[in-house]
Structure 1
Amino acid sequence: MQALHWDASRGSVKLVSLEKPQITKPDQLLIKVAYSGVCGTDLHVMKQEFPAAEKVVMGHEFTGTVENIGGEVTGFKIGDNVAVDPNSSCMKCAFCLKGQPNYCPTGGGRSAIGMFQNGGWAEYCVVPVAQVFSLPADLSLATSALCEPMSCLQRGWDMIQPLLDDAKILITGAGMIGLLWASLLHHKGYRNITLSEPTDGRRKLAKNLGLNLKVLTPDILATQYKDVDTAVHGFDLIMDCTGSPRAIEAIFPLLCRGATLCTFGCCPSGSKANICPADIMMKELRIVGSLINPYTFIKAVPLVAAMGERYLDYEKLGVKVYSLDGFDDAFKDLKNGNISKAMFKLNEN
């Protein structure tokens, strides 16, 4: 089979031919991969800014059909359409036993499929049944390939509650995650949404979503709020999707009293941002992070089905589909900002 293989010593991904994987444990499924996405985390891995195995088939966002079933697997049959949660847990440590598997020292993102175990940038992948989710019959394999990122957004949604119906919201960064956050919040009924993005192409994508967003450059945003009493007239929620310490410094003063800042984008390890501790106390601010998807994948599948083509249309979101052998073009288009997301299409029937 064809696969994209990461080799840290080489510092690059290479298209290779591998033996088709086989089920070796009774609780496993063999998945014939249909669609597999490229995540921003993958780009960080390829820059060696984010941990992963030294050598691995990457790809942690994928859907496909069941090709074969282990002897102890129930609830699935060959040919079923499924999505895969890449994250697992040890179910033994204190964090897992408290319902916090994303903090697990050995599980969560620390053992993820596509990061530390062979993943979905390949024609086939073997996955434990506990990490496989059935898809509704009317949900396409293409749209459902967004279940994994949406499961992470579902975690963020849980973390920012309560969020009042009239909340004034700022999203920073109009990459794929920023666009998905705008779509999710609009789907949830929020209409006072501003999106800040420095690049022309990404601002155009945000405007083309058809959600009536206020789309501004960071400079224009700063100018508009220069003389505003943000303690009273600032934002109730700021969702940072940039992972940029400088962006966080710039938006922090725009939080109003009682507001929440959610750092959703991946900041470089060890990076620092200067914020005012007095504001945290005087405004009673909440600062929350959101780490992967503990117990939210099961919520993400019906969420993706409910949002459907209205919000998750590939063309509107700036998602472009490539074959595996087009990976160089996919990575180049992502890095140049020509698209919001690359999606590999492999075996869809």
Structure 2
Amino acid sequence: VLSDPLSQVLHAWYKIAPVHRRKSVLLLGGGITAHLMASVLHVQGYINVTIIEKNHNRRSYLSKLVPGFTVVEPNEIERKRMHDEYWGIDIVIDCDGEINAINEAMKFLLPGGTLLLMKSTPENDSISLSPYKIYLKELKIIGSLMNPYNFMETLSWLETLGERYLDFKKMNIHIFGIKDYKEALREYKNGNIIKAVFKMDTSGSSKYFQRKMKKEIKDKIGDNSNVKNAEDVIGEIITQGIEEQGEMHNDNITENDLGNIGEDEIKSIVENIMSGNDEEKGES
């Protein structure tokens, strides 16, 4: 759930590290990326960190997660600049991909400052850059996408951050059943949560679901059945059920039917089909 976004955060951070702990840092956004970046900074002892986020709920959770950091709405930054024309930031890290926020933050970079972009924006969006100001202030602009080779280090960081920073309740990550996906999307869209995790029952698949899989496998791949194709068919069944019905109890399939269908079980299903022993006797 958190290893992939954390690996992206670490990949971005190492592009600008080492950074003196007294440097001022501004994080744009209050989503999962900002939560993880703030945690990485907090655990290392950085003290001059400001986070701007529009949503009050997200600001509240961030304030509790990283005490000592300044968590404010965007207008507060403008007010600081109005009261002190020399106020500025050494490092701006975009954790949101909001083009207007990036444009505004560029104005606050101090000489020698760095803008780190680690979230995608719409392809056709653009920011206003003055080559003269980049030259005059010796600014750095760095992009960061991902690094698929740093997962071992990410696992170590997961242990370092631990429950102190990665507790779901502290981060406002909620767990939903598959059938509650509409509620999950609504809560995320409204900014009430920063991430939705879907829990799937692992007690095993029902006989009905197995029979449905067998039929789908026979209909779609026939005598060329194999484990890989069977896995693809299972994925299609689940996806189709969600898209068409919006819940997992269509055609008598319940959330509990989405069990932990392992490779051995898939092999067994396929072997039964190949041998012609796939009919459930004594059941309608």
Residue matched to 2:210? none
Secondary structure of the equivalent of 1:178?
Answer: helix
Change (3 A) 1:201 1:269: same
| Corresponding residue pairs, total | 203
Residue matched to 1:174? 30
Match for 1:334 among 188, 193, 197?
A: 188
Look up the equivalent residue of 1:150 and give its one-letter code.
L
Quote how far apart the aligned CAs of 1:174 are.
Answer: 0.8
| In structure 2, C-alpha distance between the alignment counterparts of 1:207 and 1:176, rounded to whole Å | 14
Secondary structure of the equivalent of 1:189?
Answer: coil
Q: Is the 8 A contact 1:155 1:294 kept in 2?
A: no
Look up the equivalent residue of 2:84 and give its one-letter code.
V
| In structure 2, C-alpha distance between the alignment counterparts of 1:239 and 1:348, rounded to whole Å | 39
Quote how far apart the aligned CAs of 1:229 are.
Answer: 4.4
| In structure 2, C-alpha distance between the alignment counterparts of 1:348 and 1:164, rounded to whole Å | 47
Match for 1:307 among 149, 158, 161?
A: 161
| In structure 1, C-alpha distance between the alignment counterparts of 2:149 and 2:84, rounded to whole Å | 40
Match for 1:203 among 51, 56, 59?
A: 59
| In structure 1, C-alpha distance between the alignment counterparts of 2:128 and 2:93, rounded to whole Å | 17
What are the within-5 Å matches in structure 2 for residues 105-116 of structure 1?
Answer: none
Residue matched to 2:49? 193
Structure 2 residue 18 is the aligned partner of structure 1 residue 162: yes
- Greater alpha carbon shift after TM alignment, 145-154 vs 269-278: 269-278
Residue matched to 1:61? none
Q: Which has the higher strand share?
A: 1
TM-score when scaled to structure 1? Answer: 0.56
Quote how far apart the aligned CAs of 1:325 are.
Answer: 1.9
Cα RMSD (Å)? 1.6
Secondary structure of the equivalent of 1:202?
Answer: helix
Quote how far apart the aligned CAs of 1:160 are.
Answer: 1.5
After superposition, the C-alpha distances for 1:305-344 in whole angstroms (9 at most, x for unaligned) are 1100011111111100112222111111111111011111
Change (3 A) 1:183 1:348: farther
Residue matched to 1:212? 68
Look up the equivalent residue of 1:151 and give its one-letter code.
S
Match for 2:116 among 234, 244, 262?
A: 262
Residue matched to 1:238? 92
| In structure 1, C-alpha distance between the alignment counterparts of 2:85 and 2:137, rounded to whole Å | 12
Change (3 A) 1:348 1:181: farther
Look up the equivalent residue of 1:216 and give its one-letter code.
V
Structure 2 residue 144 is the aligned partner of structure 1 residue 296: no
| In structure 2, C-alpha distance between the alignment counterparts of 1:166 and 1:189, rounded to whole Å | 9
* Runs of 4+ with >3 A deviation: 227-230
| In structure 1, C-alpha distance between the alignment counterparts of 2:136 and 2:181, rounded to whole Å | 50
Look up the equivalent residue of 2:144 and give its one-letter code.
S
Q: Is the 8 A contact 2:21 2:47 kept in 1?
A: no
Quote how far apart the aligned CAs of 1:176 are.
Answer: 1.4
Residue matched to 1:325? 179
Quote how far apart the aligned CAs of 1:209 are.
Answer: 1.1
TM-score when scaled to structure 2? Answer: 0.68
Secondary structure of the equivalent of 2:134?
Answer: helix
Look up the equivalent residue of 2:185 and give its one-letter code.
F
Q: Is the 8 A contact 2:96 2:119 kept in 1?
A: yes
Secondary structure of the equivalent of 2:163?
Answer: helix
Structure label with greater radius of gyration = 2
Quote how far apart the aligned CAs of 1:147 are.
Answer: 0.7
| In structure 2, C-alpha distance between the alignment counterparts of 1:314 and 1:333, rounded to whole Å | 15
| In structure 2, C-alpha distance between the alignment counterparts of 1:326 and 1:176, rounded to whole Å | 21
Residue matched to 2:129? 275
Structure 2 residue 119 is the aligned partner of structure 1 residue 248: no
| In structure 2, C-alpha distance between the alignment counterparts of 1:347 and 1:312, rounded to whole Å | 23
